[in-house]
Amino acid sequence: MRWLRQQSAAGTVPALFLHIQKTAGTSLVNMARRYYGDNVISHGDYCTVAPDALKKFGFISGHFGYAFARPLMQGRYSFTFLRDPIERVLSFYYFCRFRERIRYDIYQLARDHELPEFLEICMTDPFLKMQVWNNQVWQLAYGYTQPDTRKLDDFSPEELLALAKAHLLEFSHVGFTETFAADADIICKALKFPRRHPKEPILMENVTPQRPVYSDQPAGVRKMLVSLTELDRELCDHARAIQAAKQGGKWWQW
């Protein structure tokens, strides 16, 4: 979907951020608050606001899926971020495990179980499954909505992947956690934010310090992680190929 290109000041460009959990998006949301002020909705707030009322917000962000986002994308600069799928699952697990405040059942589940048991339990529950099994494909194919109308198991894996690939093309920009600073610069430029000095770092927020990575896991857990993220890995490869083709094989730079 095309967004309206016009001369605008920072905080006035209508924007939508489909924020897939643990893809570094909180940093951008907090950056947006500097310029949009109270005209921002983020994370799970969308569940408390009627869809029609959401349209009045200048910057709409949340852990919603494509089906929820699509009616709100028209006339907005829209973007999302993808991440190495295995590291996203690991980041999600350790984020939940080390929360000081138990706001959700999945936090307690992560506290009570080591990684392999946590993943096995998630795969037996439809709601938990969609948070770890190819979550990026799920969010871009259909994803979390309010109210929920279709479930993950209503789709075949092939259908989910095809939908996610097609929907990627509707976003103004698709970034990657692994190239966050470069992608954030592109997004900030489109939103008319002041240009960042090349030596000024962009702080990554909500990062779990010193967590184990894929190579630290036992062989059995690594095999499980690979199995849970097959579609996500194909989607990320597809998105990188699209990005490289647009930029002649190079990352965009000012």
- Residues 18-65 pLDDT 10s: 999 999 888 899 999 999 999 999 988 888 898 889 999 999 999 999
Angle between the 85-97 and 219-228 helix axes, to the nearest 10 degrees? 110
- Binning pLDDT at 50, 70 and 90, where does residue 254 land? very low
Cα gap 217→223, rounded to integer Å: 10
Contact 41, 59 (CB under 8 A): yes
Cα gap 254→233, rounded to integer Å: 29
Greater confidence, 192 or 253? 192
Give pLDDT, residue 24.
83
Residue 216's SS3 state is helix
- Binning pLDDT at 50, 70 and 90, where does residue 97 land? very high
Contacts of 64 (CB under 8 A, 6+ apart): 18, 46, 143, 144, 145, 146
Contact 106, 201 (CB under 8 A): no
Q: What is the dihedral of CA 14, 177, 89, 232, to 10 degrees?
A: 80
* Region for 42 from its dihedrals, namely left if φ exceeds 0, alpha if ψ lies in -120 to 50, beta otherwise: beta
pLDDT, average across residues 187-206: 79
| Helix residue ranges, H only, 98-193 | 105-112, 115-122, 126-132, 135-141, 157-168, 180-190
Confidence check: pLDDT of 201 > 90:
no
Contacts of 144 (CB under 8 A, 6+ apart): 63, 64, 65, 68, 130
Name the strand (E) or helix (H) holding 78. Answer: strand 77-82
pLDDT over 90, % of the chain: 73
Give pLDDT, residue 204.
64
Confidence check: pLDDT of 242 > 70:
yes
pLDDT, average across residues 117-140: 97
Give the start-to-end residue ranges of the domains of the chain.
15-246
Q: If you average pLDDT over every residue of the chain, what do you get?
A: 90
Residue 203's SS3 state is coil
Cα gap 207→64, rounded to integer Å: 21
Name the strand (E) or helix (H) holding 77. Answer: strand 77-82
Domain 15-246 of CATH type 3.40.50.300: yes
Q: What is the DSSP letter of 231?
A: H
Cα gap 234→93, rounded to integer Å: 22
Contact 16, 60 (CB under 8 A): yes
101-125, pLDDT tens digit by residue? 788 899 999 999 999 999 999 999 9
Between the alpha carbon of residue 222 and those of residues 90, 109, 111, 215, 231, the distances in Å are 11, 20, 20, 8, 16
Confidence check: pLDDT of 148 > 70:
yes
Cα gap 147→47, rounded to integer Å: 8
For 161, the token pair is 């992947």
